Amino acid sequence: MDKKTEFKPYIPASRITPELTVTSIVMGVILAVVFGAANAYLGLRVGMTVSASIPAAVIAMGVIRVIMKKNSILESNIVQTIGSAGESLAAGSIFTLPALFLWASEGVMEKPGIVEITLIALVGGLLGVFFMVPLRNALIVKEHGILPYPEGTACAEVLLAGEKGGANASTVFAGMGFAAAFKFIIDGIKAVPGEVSFRVKGFAGEIGTQIYPAVMSVGYICGFRISSYMFAGGVLSWLVLIPLIVMFGQDIIMYPSVDQTIGEIYAESGASGIWSSYIRYIGAGALAAGGIISLIKSLPLIINTFKGAIKGMGKGGSSAAVRTETDINMKFVLIAIAILTLAVWLIPAIPVNFIGALVIVIFGFFFATVSSRMVGLVGSSNNPVSGMAIATLLIATMILKFTGAEGASGYSAAIAIGSIICIVAAISGDTSQDLKTGYLLGSTPKKQQIGEIIGVVAAALAIGGTLYLLDSAWGFGSEELAAPQATLMKMIIEGVMSAELPWNLVFIGAFIAVLIEVIGIPVLPFAIGVYLPVQLNACILVGGIVRLVFDKMKMKDEEKKKSIISDGILFCSGMIAGEGLVGILLALLAVFGVSEMLDISDLLNLPEAVSNIGSLIVFALIIASLLKFSIWKKRKAGETVNEK
């Protein structure tokens, strides 16, 4: 049965309202850059990014409808479409491109130029949008009612709620303000430490928590289940594996590239030193195995999706007379894809040869289809982008090695191919969610697709500077910016090219992942927990516990309960953006040498116990601010609920 003839969008096809206007473009570009930078910072810190679609929709709704007094839901939708593209492009970029900086810090190659980063991001983003054009009819229209596209549907609900008077943009902005203030107190003037750790004498393990608002917000948004899996992975690393390594390996030098015994490393750097030298390889093995397992489990769905999409393409991507069925012209799309493919091959700044360009196009279209289908079923958060990138890297690196590309040139070519595919998968998933929102509201697909292109261009122009800034301030692979996925991609390429990695540790991590999968626990969040510091995982768990309390509340008014949870999500989204922006500001201050002038930690010179108490008080205030704008929020009678 053809779902298209049955469905009627909120704005009918016959009605023409403002969409792609100067206002929507300017606002969308600002949000694309802001959420792109914030998510880049967050992803490099915790290895996870969060969807910017809902906060972008709320801000658009608040500004256009409440402040500007314009009644234009489709204009708000374009703002959200452009804005969310920045977050997705940042996610695809930070999972891979920092590997180039890591190699540069080791003296393997020169730092990548901003032009190189921008072009790689731009090509990946544009291919992600163009690959989705012919797939829209097959996946969004033909399978309406079958593929729910959770974030896309939620954005439509938020914008529709705004039409009925339920504007909650102030909650997002409040989150941004509070997080900015807390971040400045913790990492700006350094009034209190950003991390509290506890150790027991005679035991090499360590436990504690960070106190950052964005990290706690990730836990609230992801929920207790996912955050508890991450914490469990951290417990395994920091309270089981590290103590075992120290206990049994005091006088052992485990592999040649480390010139100290395990006992010497622990005496000098504590549990963090053991994590850096050994545990991160176990975590990398678990992450790689988890990504591949996720991909293998998805194979039947991948194959069926690809077959169905190819069959449905014949009726998609046309320049239809009906406004709500009009895509970018298919001839233009095919020419653009051909030009981008040639650009990857011919532009000197992109270190990819002709074979690499073909790999990008073939894998790119395949994974764009997979990504769009996956987010339609399980949402963007569960899209196995890392698994797709790992599979691509393994194959691409083997092809490059076989064709004689080794050393720095082979490394940079492999990461460029992996980066473009990763960005393609992330952007195509985001584009499909946005097109679903537009399909429900009655947007013009062609204008949304143009909006996606604008968002990609804006975010690509900003991502190079953002990565350079963060690397200059703290350095990728540091405690501040662990860059777990990029480190993993680097290790995979090195492993295929040189086989000099501590493979025993990598295999231990891989078999831990297999064990976790066998007992029925989602392997990727657990593997991320194994890789990351336990203090970070504990902070995420605190947010998950707050969300669990909200979810378990017994309330007579279920709509009020949903509204409380939704307000918490919006406030936490704002906190992530706020901390990310202040993180970028502090990076700027660090680069220009101003950050030391703000540091009052030496002036205070507080004992460790007092500093820890101060940190916990600040953490309590962060949690209290979340409660203030969710469960303690004063609500007007008949307030519309915005549900994620």
* pLDDT tens readout for residues 356-389: 899 899 888 877 877 777 677 656 655 657 667 7
Mean pLDDT of the chain: 84
User: Lowest-pLDDT range, 113-117, 466-470, 634-638?
Assistant: 634-638
CB 623 within 8 A of CB 138: no
* 401: Cα separation from own chain's centroid: 30
Look up residue 640 and give its DSSP letter. Answer: P
Q: Which is it for strands 195-198 and 207-210: parallel, antiparallel or unpaired?
A: antiparallel
Output phi, psi for 498, to 5 deg: -120, -20
- Is the residue at 148 inside a domain? yes
Residue 110 counted as domain residue:
yes
What does the pLDDT read at residue 307? Answer: 66
The answer to whether residue 428 is domain-embedded is yes
Q: Which residue in this structure is represented by tokens 């969040």?
A: 525
> Could you give the percent of the chain with pLDDT greater than 90?
33
**CA separation, residue 85 to residues 216, 419, 436, 611 (Å):** 24, 16, 14, 40
Least confident of 181-195, 281-295, 354-368: 281-295
- Mean of pLDDT values over 190-203: 89
For residue 207, list its beta bridge partners: 198
Task: Choose between 642 and 469: higher pLDDT.
Answer: 469
pLDDT of residue 167: 47
pLDDT at 236 over 90: yes
Q: What are phi and psi of 363, to 5 degrees?
A: -65, -35
Tell me what pLDDT residue 635 has.
61
Q: Helix, strand, or coil here: 165?
A: coil
Does residue 637 or residue 349 have the better pLDDT?
Answer: 349
Which of 266-270, 287-291, 633-637 has maximum average pLDDT?
A: 266-270
212 domain-assigned: no
Q: What is the pLDDT of residue 70?
A: 75
Question: What pLDDT sits at residue 638?
Answer: 45
CB burial readout 182-194, b (16+ within 10 A) else e: bbbbbbbbbbbbb
pLDDT in tens, 321-337: 688 888 888 889 889 99
pLDDT (mean) for 521-531 = 83
Q: Is the pLDDT of residue 302 over 70?
A: no
CA distance 412 to 329: 35
Would 438 be classed as within a structural domain? Answer: yes
Q: Compute the distance between CA of residue 383 and CA of residue 363 in angstroms, rounded to an integer.
A: 16
Domain assignment of residue 553, yes or no: no
Q: Which SS3 state, helix, strand or coil, does residue 232 take?
A: helix
Highest mean pLDDT among 418-422, 604-608, 633-637: 418-422
Sign of CA dihedral 5, 9, 15, 18: negative
The share of the chain scoring above pLDDT 70, in percent, equals 88
pLDDT at res. 482 = 83
The better pLDDT of the pair 416, 151 is held by: 416
Q: Which residues pair with 210 in a beta bridge?
A: 195
For residues 240 and 3, the model is more confident at 240
Handedness of CA 207, 210, 211, 215 (dihedral sign): negative
Confidence band for 181, pLDDT divided at 50, 70 and 90: very high
371 against 131, higher pLDDT: 131
Question: Can you tell me the mean pLDDT for 486-493?
Answer: 84
pLDDT score recorded for residue 636: 56
Q: Is residue 3 very low, low, confident or very high in pLDDT (cuts 50, 70, 90)?
A: very low
Q: What is the pLDDT of residue 321?
A: 67
Separation CA 495–CA 397 (nearest Å): 10
pLDDT class of 125 with cuts at 50, 70, 90: very high
Contact between 289 and 409 under an 8 Å Cβ cutoff? The reply is no
Q: How far apart are CA 175 and CA 570, in angstroms?
A: 8
- Looking at the DSSP bridge assignments, the partners of residue 209 are 196
Check residue 4 and give its pLDDT: 42
- pLDDT tens-digit series, residues 87-100: 889 888 998 999 99
pLDDT at residue 459 tops 80: yes
Q: Which of 147-161, 290-304, 523-537 has the lowest mean pLDDT?
A: 290-304
How many domains does the chain fold into?
Answer: 1
- Asked if residue 153 has pLDDT above 90, the reply is no
Residue 350 inside a domain? The answer is: yes
Question: Can you tell me the mean pLDDT for 421-430?
Answer: 91
| Total-model pTM | 0.74
Residue 49 amino acid letter? T
Is the pLDDT reported for residue 274 higher than 80?
yes
**Using CA atoms, how far apart are residues 85 and 105, in angstroms rounded to an integer?**
30
**H-helix or E-strand containing 198?**
strand 195-198
- State the residue range of the domain holding 346: 3-166+329-379+404-470
353 vs 488 pLDDT, higher one: 353
- What's the whole-number mean pLDDT along residues 486-510? 82
Look at residue 298 and tell me whether its pLDDT is greater than 60: yes
Q: Give the confidence band of 223 by pLDDT, cuts at 50, 70, 90.
A: confident
State mean pLDDT over 588-617. Answer: 85
Produce one character per residue of 473-493: b if its CB has 16 or more CB atoms within 10 Å, e if not: bbbbbeebbbbbbbbbbbbbb
Look at residue 98 and tell me if it is in a domain: yes
Structure tokens at 468: 């350079």
**CA 36, 37, 39: angle at the middle one, nearest 5?**
65
